[in-house]
Amino acid sequence: MGVRRQGMKQGWVIAGATLAMLASPLAAQFQSDGYKFIKAVRDRDGDVATQMLDEPGTTIVNAREISSGETALHAVVQARDLTWVKFLLQRGANPNIADKNGVYPIQIAAQLGFIEGVERLIKGGAEVDVSDSTGETPLISAVHRRDLKLIELLVEKGASADRTDNSGRSARDYAMLMGGRSLVLETIEKAEKADEDEAETYGPQ
């Protein structure tokens, strides 16, 4: 009986090893290369990163870490490194990829008050009204920070002050909760009016 059980156990081990060998080698290779690429970016190893990006047909620039779902663009935004943000965007990085918590690079930039990063991400195609797992948008983050320049930029680029988070509150609601005619609320309304005025005057004069 013991021999039979041992034989069954060995069979399971062999079967498991066989399945592991049959798992997609391409996926495993991509994950391995993706890890190396993101590590190179985190280490600011431009030679290695560029060499990997120069491989014909590669999509390594948008590789994601298995545990966090973060891309290289997430990493350089977190480090407030504008040079690398520009470099990755120029090499095809997609700014509209979220990590496993639904956080996009532009949200990280907004939370950090990294206005130059926000500007470059938007120029690179980042959507301004994305939200994470809590429903927080970049504009809501800017309002929480009372970052008037960032608020103005986001509204001018199309961010909605009335998009709500999971609590049902919008950027405008949070601004109003700051009391009276707060500078935050005034900045939102001023930026919205500027957009309206620009729309009305657009066209040949």
Q: Flag the least confident range among 21-30, 31-40, 134-143.
A: 21-30
CB 118 within 8 A of CB 138: yes
The pTM assigned to this predicted structure is 0.80
% of the chain surpassing 70 pLDDT: 80
pLDDT at residue 84, as a whole number: 98
Q: What are 64's strand-pairing partners?
A: 71
Alpha-helical (H) ranges within the chain are 2-22, 25-42, 46-53, 72-78, 82-90, 105-112, 115-123, 138-145, 148-156, 171-176, 183-201
Q: What are 158's strand-pairing partners?
A: none
Residue matched to tokens 């066989």? 18
- Over residues 133-170, the pLDDT tens digits come to 999 999 999 999 999 999 999 999 999 999 999 999 99
Fold of 141-205: 1.25.40
| Domain locations in the chain as residue ranges | 141-205
pLDDT at residue 9, as a whole number: 47
> Per-residue pLDDT averaged across 183-189, rounded?
94
pLDDT at residue 161, as a whole number: 97
Residue 200 pLDDT exceeds 70: no
Q: Flag the least confident range among 14-23, 94-103, 162-171.
A: 14-23
The larger pLDDT score, comparing residue 184 to residue 9, is at 184
- Over residues 105-121, the pLDDT tens digits come to 999 999 999 999 999 99
Determine the Cα–Cα distance for residues 203 and 49; give it in Å rounded to an integer: 45
Q: How confident is the model at residue 29 (pLDDT cuts 50, 70, 90)?
A: very low
% of the chain surpassing 90 pLDDT: 76
Give residue 153's identity as a one-letter amino acid code: L
Average pLDDT of the chain is 87
